[in-house]
Structure 1
């Protein structure tokens, strides 16, 4: 199932108002943890799968990447990315992640930010990315944490006064489709366990270099007391993996 909620006008309008959509990488709470996972980008051929507004594509070029390709299934996302990009070394293409069709070894680095929990077959993606990477290439991605995706409700358990009592985890081992609520819309996500994610990488031929379950950055906690609730459960899982030669 290839999902394209971002070409729905209402959904896209809501997404465009999010802090990360307006302020870019520095406004994304997980960026300070994602950035250190990236390998040296100077001179590299980079592919961003699920590129959205192209923030990571432009960052890669700022770091000296030789060329960058950003793919996304949403024409709305790509149109905004093109509007914000003035660099002939960055190419945007409308393409579903499931349909990646580039030649073997076409890239040195593949990145993906918060897109792969929308993809049903993560193991297929791992095998495809491994094929697309040149020897010694790196795959760096972030997804919603399985503790977060286990229940479709993706919400706290509240007390009688509306206080957040705890984050419930249920059906953790029951992998598969979850119909969640995001930006006032129903969206399809796919829950999988931590071990399924890591084993898919290993079985595709990757060596896992680093994992991260990031906490909110200190400045976010200082500026928004409500963010302290984000210390009570993990929201993101990130991994950096290298192709075994």
Structure 2
């Protein structure tokens, strides 16, 4: 990944950071981001997991999964296992998880074992063939992980292949407009062009990550190309959840979406 001289502003984790535009090299991006999550990722960005889809959006309010008892579920980007635990405790019949970080996989194993749960866990980039069965799952889901994909259309095609016919794909990520706007002195200020989907590298607390901020239409069109039909999309922040928070971020969430969630069905 060759850095060029273009410096830019991006919004990561609710805060404004400096970044450098880079040429996307899939192998290097995977190496960079796996190292990030092996080391400081959770400490720097925290861990978003069910029942939360992200800031101010919850499964308990949205009920996108419904009753998962007896269902087979696969998580893309399982992190340290909180979402798998949440669904396992709701009597899913099989839990599977994938993550690019060996460290996160080990955390998931430990968490689930301590709680009497088990899952089949695979360390792999989400874009690659890794032995996950096809036409098998009732749900595939991803909580704040799908945006790390280097090949969004290819990832969605793989996810469609994993699902049974009429199976559901549920995922959340930072809303693209949120990634462009910063709160400054009780005002919202655009810091980045919404249409800029180029890759960038940013340093957080001494650790480096690589990302691209995609337009909402990019996600929608990639789902359509993979054969999905969107059933529901959520952009609104929960008013009750916002009332419990103060500061610039909560004020920002009252003015524009900071998280989006999509539920799509395999045709």
Alignment TM class, shorter chain as reference: 0.7 to 0.9
Equivalence map 1:171-190=2 (5 Å): 171-180=193-202, 182=204, 185-190=207-212
Q: Deviations over 1:149-179 (max 9, x none)?
A: 3x4xxx6253xxxx14214164222323133
1:95 and 2:124 matched: yes
Task: Measure, in 1, the Cα distance between the counterparts of 2:193 and 2:247.
Answer: 31
Task: Give TM-score scaled by structure 1 length.
Answer: 0.82
Equivalent residue for 2:261, pick from 235, 238, 241 = 238
Equivalent residue for 2:187, pick from 147, 165, 181 = 165
* Ranges in structure 2 where 5+ consecutive residues have no aligned partner: 1-25
Task: Give TM-score scaled by structure 2 length.
Answer: 0.76
1:104 and 2:154 matched: no
Q: Deviations over 1:90-139 (max 9, x none)?
A: 22221221124323212111000111111121111111111111111010
Q: Which has the higher helix share?
A: 1
Larger RCO of the pair (alpha carbons < 8 Å, separation 6+): 2
* Ranges in structure 1 where 5+ consecutive residues have no aligned partner: none
Using a 3 Å threshold, how does the CA distance of structure 1 residues 32 and 24 change in structure 2: closer, same or farther? closer
Q: Which has the higher strand share?
A: 2
**Which deviates further from its counterpart, 224-233 or 112-121?**
224-233
**Which deviates further from its counterpart, 174-183 or 73-82?**
174-183
Q: Which residue of 1 aligns with 2:8?
A: none
Q: Which residue of 2 aligns with 1:83?
A: 110
